[in-house]
Structure 1
Amino acid sequence: KNNNNNTNYRKYILKENISNKCRFCGIITESIQHIIDGCPVLSYSEYLHWHNNIAKIIHQQLAKDNGILGEETPHFKCQPARILEKDGMKIYWEEPIATDHTVVHNRPDILVLDRKNKRADIIDIAVPNDENISKTWAEKIRKYQDFAINLKHVYQLESVRVLPVVISANGLVLKALHQSFEHLRLPKKLINQCQKAALLATACIVRKTLGMA
């Protein structure tokens, strides 16, 4: 396939008589960056699939490490249960959690609630472009602060942490992600697995787009 099949390249370099707007949304000038990060049409389908693949990898590992799941299923075939529970620990998947006060953002991708050890971990995933990794990380922390405070009060917990998982479309990560994985006692190799999932999804989106006439 010709890797320079985006409409902008074809219009201005190949001099074809076509629009240089994105073939999906028809609004923004088409570029690889727009395709993998900014197209509003793709964001509701391709990007969600991309995001969920990473979330599934982490959810399944957490369930396995805590003795809730035995057999491992390839993440792309896996459909996580809304709530998994064992020995005072619950792992929630995209489940809204009620608290004493109304909180707008009360549905993280994954919530690990450990009543026995009086702690909780709020995990939320994002796959931004390379330039927005730090900004997205900070946004995730801010987004769930009120929820963390309310959760700590309602369940009388000693520790509640917001742990963003931010991996760029090209697989870049912050050092803070390694610290988050250490806190969750997740193996280091899992970061590589999540990066691989992000890169494969990026390649799939680009290939699909450039393959269109």
Structure 2
Amino acid sequence: MATKCEKMLGHDYMRRHNEVVKCIHMLLCKKYKIEDSGKKLRSHSVQQIVANKYVKIRIDTTIKIDVKIKYNKPDIVVIDKKSKEILIVEIGVTSIDNLQQVESKKLRKYDVLVNELGLIHECKTRIIPYVLTWDGIVTKYHAKYRKELAISDQIEAYIQSVALKKLLKVSRWSSAEEQI
């Protein structure tokens, strides 16, 4: 367990989660030539909505549709008007015990939203869960999802190191707290 404090655990989950969102957001911005955020991840800023003539990327924003649904605020939504495709990327950083369950949940959570968006916009839709453990362990399906997102070995290693660094910071802080 990364920490014994539930409040701290939630905060650290969000920090790890947001770092992964930032990495994938930058990757998608470069892929779709949305903005020139430079080559440094540190200088990249995640904005809720960025767009160009053909593509819009939304981060953690509510998707409004006619039907009332429970889940309508995915981590990342890419609306590609040129290829007539909508992509939802759901990110999770979890424990080894919950890895497969979280990946499954992320894959199914937005089924209704994706179906509605496909009908409304008359386009192809996909959901990609990007899930790993605090120490960088992934499921057997992760390579497929990673390939679909075009995440290089270098970026994957960086994402895993970010998850691990955040875990180590929490572990060190917890150990120091226990000694007090």
Q: TM-score, normalised by structure 1?
A: 0.77
Mapped partners of 2:135, 2:27: distance in 1: 23
Q: CA deviation at 1:207?
A: 0.9
Preserved CA contact (<8 Å) 2:93 2:132:
yes
Preserved CA contact (<8 Å) 1:95 1:107:
yes
Gap regions ≥5 residues in structure 1? 1-32
Mapped partners of 1:174, 1:104: distance in 2: 27
- Count of paired positions: 177
One-letter amino acid of the structure 1 residue matched with residue 29 of structure 2: A
Preserved CA contact (<8 Å) 2:61 2:74:
yes
One-letter amino acid of the structure 1 residue matched with residue 122 of structure 2: Q
The superposition leaves residues 18-49 of structure 1 with CA deviations (integer Å, 9 ceiling, x where unpaired) of xxxxxxxxxxxxxxx161xx742113322211
Gap regions ≥5 residues in structure 2? none
The superposition leaves residues 47-103 of structure 1 with CA deviations (integer Å, 9 ceiling, x where unpaired) of 21111011111111110121112213434x543111111131111111111112112
Q: Which residue of 1 aligns with 2:32?
A: 66
One-letter amino acid of the structure 2 residue matched with residue 74 of structure 1: L
Question: Which of 144, 148, 163 is the equivalent residue of 1:179?
Answer: 144
Residue 80 (structure 2) pairs with residue 141 (structure 1): no
Q: Which residue of 2 aligns with 1:122?
A: 88
Q: Which has the higher strand share?
A: 2
Residue 144 (structure 2) pairs with residue 167 (structure 1): no
- Across the aligned residues of Structure 1 and Structure 2, the Cα RMSD in angstroms comes to 1.6
Q: After the TM superposition, which segments of 4 or more aligned residues of structure 1 sit over 4 Å from their partners?
A: none
Residue 56 (structure 2) pairs with residue 90 (structure 1): yes
Q: Which has the higher helix share?
A: 2
Q: Identity across aligned pairs (percent)?
A: 24
